[in-house]
Each structure stands twice: as structure tokens, then as C-alpha cells.
Amino acid sequence: MKKVERLKAKLIENLDFLSGSVVMYRSKCGKNCVCNNGMKHVCHYLSAKKEGRTRNLYLPPGAVDEAKKMTEKHKKIKALLLEIGQLNYETLKERHLTKGR
């Protein structure tokens, strides 16, 4: 199997992705709580661009790991696309520019 075909297969494996970042915030709730004594509450958000603006989507604790895996897949996809593009460049160059020399 050609390298490009293997990379395309990896691309398909990672299509359940999210573009954005999982960010953690520490905050106070403003009530009589331990968070007012320095032990702030931890919460996670998905920070992503939507319609040209950065939006933050609250992530309940059970969704954090899944969101992190999905944002990592986005990074993999970008790297795979770059590699496929470089291979396609070389293929095009060999196919059309080295003929007749």
C-alpha cells in the first residue's frame, strides 16, 4: 500500500475530532464556600472559534477526557494533511516536471 493511502486511512480513523482547546479555569462561586479561602473551584471549557469569534462551551466533568481526545485528533489530522500535501507535491513534481529531461 502506498504511503499516501496509509495516511488517508489514518485520516479517516480520526474524523471524530473537535477543533479548539480544552481549558481549565479556577473560579470562586461568591458564596460562603471554601473557594473564598483560596481553594477555587475547577471547571473545564472547550474554547473554539465559531463564526469568527472565540466561544467557550462548558464541559461537565464526564466530558473532559472525551473532548481532550477529540482535540488531539484535530492536531493529528492537521499533521496528516501536511504530510499528504508534501507527498502529493513530490508526486506531481515527479509526474510532470521531470519528464523529458
Rounded Cα distance between 23 and 39, Å, is 18
pLDDT digits (tens, 9 = 90+) for 17-70: 999 999 999 888 877 888 878 788 899 999 999 999 999 999 999 999 999 999
pLDDT of residue 76: 95
Residue 72 lies in domain: 3-97
DSSP assignments along 32-98, one per residue: SSGGGGT-PEEEEEEEEEETTEEEEEEE-GGGHHHHHHHHHHHHHHHHHHHHHHHHHHHHHIIIIIS
Residue with cell 467557550: 56
pLDDT of residue 100: 56
pLDDT of residue 1 exceeding 60, the answer is no
pLDDT of residue 101: 54
- Structural domains in the chain (count): 1
pLDDT of residue 38: 77
CB atoms within 10 A of CB 20: 20
The model scores a pTM over 0.85: no
Is residue 36 a contact partner of residue 85, using CB atoms and an 8 Å limit?
no
pLDDT of residue 30: 73
